[in-house]
């Protein structure tokens, strides 16, 4: 076929990545009779010289997704799981430095918490656990052979203030029916991600577990301390509290569904509702999202995911 008679190419390959998603690994550390549990959900995404596998079907540059899953399990034994961040760093470094075709690795990790059951019987406190019903800890580590980006966070952290929340002074148009309120319930389910300014292994890494615990504490304390005139204002206060108190964090991205609590009309029953009985609606919900940045820092956490 001559060039002139060859049909014009209408497609080309755009950005791509691959890897095993959601490898569930549980690592038990047996310190005598006292056991510790790390329970993770690890997703690996690799990218690099992967044109041929898409365009010609040659798999010569492909480290299989099955291998990436096996590596997660092997590294849980070989390196242990000191923290989600440290585990992600081990994995990302391994994939990028051991395979010439892999130029970038992104490791997402969710951690599910387990608490000891303090039963009076023998051994209960040492090897029996109950899943913490609260939040899930999250981490995303990205490495391109040069710099690191670590974004940690949490999701499903449900919080409520039963007062100290008002909402008034908003736009009224022909469709507005919402009543102004000077005392409402403010409840949300926090998804937070925060970006560390640590980018290279020449510098000491933060103490990941300490950082997580403190960031979580600051989010909760700011939620509780803020006399709220809107969930947007509370969002900014929560993100600011983390950035102001944690020098290792430059950016906090928050997604806060407004879990509306509507006062129930009890008049038909001859009862007065003095801010006591609410209908907790599950949908629709207002969705308040925003990023808080350290002065001079750039927004790098994606707005939508």
Ligand X SMILES: O=c1[nH]c(=O)c2[nH]c(=O)[nH]c2[nH]1
Query: Terminus-to-terminus CA distance in the chain, angstroms?
Result: 45
> CB–CB of 236/279 below 8 Å?
no
Q: Which stretch binds ligand X (CB under 6 A): 40-48, 112-120, 224-232, 268-276?
A: 224-232
User: For the chain, percent helix, then strand, then coil, each to nearest 5?
Assistant: 25, 35, 40
Does 230 bind ligand X (CB under 6 A)? Our answer is yes
Q: Which stretch binds ligand X (CB under 6 A): 17-25, 101-109, 199-207, 227-235?
A: 227-235
For ligand X, the binding residues in 250-289 under the rule CB under 6 A are: 258, 286
Does 149 bind ligand X (CB under 6 A)? Our answer is no
C-alpha pair distances (Å), 54 with each of 12, 33, 62, 232:
10, 51, 11, 44
- Taking the least distance from each CB to ligand X, the nearer of 8 and 171 is 171
Does 167 bind ligand X (CB under 6 A)? Our answer is yes
Residue nearest to ligand X (CB): 231
Does 194 bind ligand X (CB under 6 A)? Our answer is no
> CB–CB of 59/53 below 8 Å?
yes
Q: Closest distance between ligand X and the C-beta of residue 228, in Å?
A: 7
Q: Closest distance between ligand X and the C-beta of residue 302, in Å?
A: 22
Catalytic residues: 20, 65, 260
CB burial readout 57-81, b (16+ within 10 A) else e: eeeeebbeeebbbebbeebbeeeeb
* Contacting residue, 150, 219, 231, 249, with ligand X by CB under 6 A: 231
Q: Closest distance between ligand X and the C-beta of residue 277, in Å?
A: 20
- Taking the least distance from each CB to ligand X, the nearer of 148 and 167 is 167
Residue with tokens 């300490």: 210
> CB–CB of 165/183 below 8 Å?
yes
- Taking the least distance from each CB to ligand X, the nearer of 84 and 226 is 226
Query: CA 226, CA 203: separation in Å to the nearest integer?
Result: 35
Burial of residue 245, with CB atoms counted within 10 A of its CB: 0-12 exposed, 13-18 middle, 19 or more buried:
middle
Does 238 bind ligand X (CB under 6 A)? Our answer is no
- Taking the least distance from each CB to ligand X, the nearer of 136 and 232 is 232
Query: CA 39, CA 92: separation in Å to the nearest integer?
Result: 19
* Contacting residue, 55, 130, 160, 178, with ligand X by CB under 6 A: 178
Q: Closest distance between ligand X and the C-beta of residue 218, in Å?
A: 21
- Taking the least distance from each CB to ligand X, the nearer of 178 and 264 is 178
DSSP one-letter string for 85-97: HHHHHHHHHHHHH
C-alpha pair distances (Å), 223 with each of 235, 245, 292, 295:
8, 15, 15, 22
Q: Closest distance between ligand X and the C-beta of residue 184, in Å?
A: 8
Q: Closest distance between ligand X and the C-beta of residue 263, in Å?
A: 14
- Taking the least distance from each CB to ligand X, the nearer of 86 and 255 is 255
Q: Which stretch binds ligand X (CB under 6 A): 40-48, 98-106, 213-221, 226-234?
A: 226-234
Residues lying near ligand X in the complex (CB under 6 A): 167, 178, 230-232, 258, 286
């Amino acid at each position: 076929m001559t060039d002139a008679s060859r049909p014009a190419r209408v497609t080309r390959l755009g950005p791509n990545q691959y890897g095993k998603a959601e490898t569930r690994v549980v690592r038990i550390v047996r310190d005598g009779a006292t056991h510790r549990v790390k329970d993770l959900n690890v997703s690996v995404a690799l990218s690099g010289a992967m044109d041929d596998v898409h365009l010609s079907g040659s798999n010569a540059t492909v480290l299989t997704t099955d291998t990436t899953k096996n590596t997660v399990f092997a590294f849980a034994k070989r390196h242990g799981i000191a923290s989600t961040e440290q585990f992600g760093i081990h994995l990302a470094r391994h994939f990028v430095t051991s395979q010439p075709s892999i130029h970038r690795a992104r490791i997402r990790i969710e951690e599910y918490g387990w608490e000891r059951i303090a039963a009076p019987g023998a051994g209960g406190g040492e090897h029996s656990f109950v899943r913490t019903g609260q939040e899930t800890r999250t981490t995303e580590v990205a490495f391109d052979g040069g710099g690191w980006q670590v974004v940690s966070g949490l999701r499903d952290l449900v919080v409520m203030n039963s007062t100290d929340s008002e909402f008034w002074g908003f736009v009224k148009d022909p469709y507005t029916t919402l009543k102004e309120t000077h005392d409402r319930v403010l409840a949300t389910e926090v998804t937070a991600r925060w970006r560390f300014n640590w980018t290279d292994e020449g510098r000491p890494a933060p103490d990941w577990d300490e950082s997580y615990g403190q960031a979580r504490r600051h989010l909760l304390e700011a939620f509780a301390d803020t006399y709220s005139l809107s969930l947007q204002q509370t969002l900014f206060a929560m993100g600011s509290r983390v950035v102001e108190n944690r020098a290792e964090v430059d950016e906090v991205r928050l997604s806060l569904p407004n879990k509306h609590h509507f006062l129930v009309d009890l008049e038909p029953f001859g009862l007065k509702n003095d801010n006591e009985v609410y209908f907790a609606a599950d949908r629709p919900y207002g969705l308040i999202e925003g990023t808080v940045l350290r002065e001079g820092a750039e927004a790098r956490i994606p707005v939508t995911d």
